[in-house]
Structure 1
Amino acid sequence: MMQIDCPYCGPRAQVEFAYERTLDSIVTLDMPAEEAVSRLYARANPRGLDDELWRHSFGCRQWLVLRRHRVSHAIVSITEYAP
């Protein structure tokens, strides 16, 4: 199990958080349809570092961006999500 260091609540177990998606898969309403389809269905699946969107569901309820290695699960950085 991963330990996630929430900037607001401190270190917490992964079960307190909900994984949402990688940041490169987020689509908006004003985005062209071709780009939205590309982001949702034709994205790369990197084996290295990736930025992921997580929510501290059982804590402060903040949205966080975790920069995490997809193979080793090592968390490099955690920042607040600002859309």
Structure 2
Amino acid sequence: MQLIECPWCGPREETEFHYGGQAHIAYPEDPQALSDEQWAQFVFYRDNPKGLFAERWSHSHGCRRWFNAVRDTATYRFQRTYRLDEPKTTI
């Protein structure tokens, strides 16, 4: 069992969390102006690197808050976690 560091609750077991996708994806300013192809690109296409990757996570069985995490997709190890109101981390 892996421990994930919730920025508010501290380290908890991974079963308390849910993955929320790639972090730092800006919502379109005018979504109604997007074509179907552009909207599909926004909704379905994300980066899929091998190595460090910024992701969104939810502490669904704890404080229920969202936070960002930098995780190594090759080893599954979390490098760091940070609140949504903190500056974007450089990988």
Q: Is the structural similarity TM-score above 0.5?
A: yes
Q: What's the Cα RMSD here?
A: 2.2
Which stretch of the first structure deviates more once superposed, 36-45 or 53-62?
A: 36-45
Change (3 A) 1:6 1:80: same
Deviation of 1:39 (Å) = 3.7
CA contact (8 A) 2:19 2:58 kept: yes
Measure how far apart 1:29 and its partner are: 5.9
Gaps (5+ residues) in structure 1? Answer: none
Unmatched 5+ stretches in structure 2: 86-91
1:30 paired with 2:30, answer yes
1:15 maps to 2:15? yes
Which structure would you say has the larger Rg?
A: 2
Equivalence for 1:44 = 47
Q: In the alignment, what sits opposite 2:78?
A: 75
Contact 2:23–2:54, Cα closer than 8 Å, also in 1: yes
Residues of 2 paired with 1:26 and 1:8: CA distance? Answer: 24
Name the CA distance, whole Å, in 1 between partners of 2:71 and 2:84.
15
Aligned twin of 2:3: 3
Identity of aligned residues (%): 32
Q: Structure 1 residues 42, 60: CA separation in 2 closer, same or farther (over 3 Å shift)?
A: closer
TM-score w.r.t. the length of structure 2 is 0.72
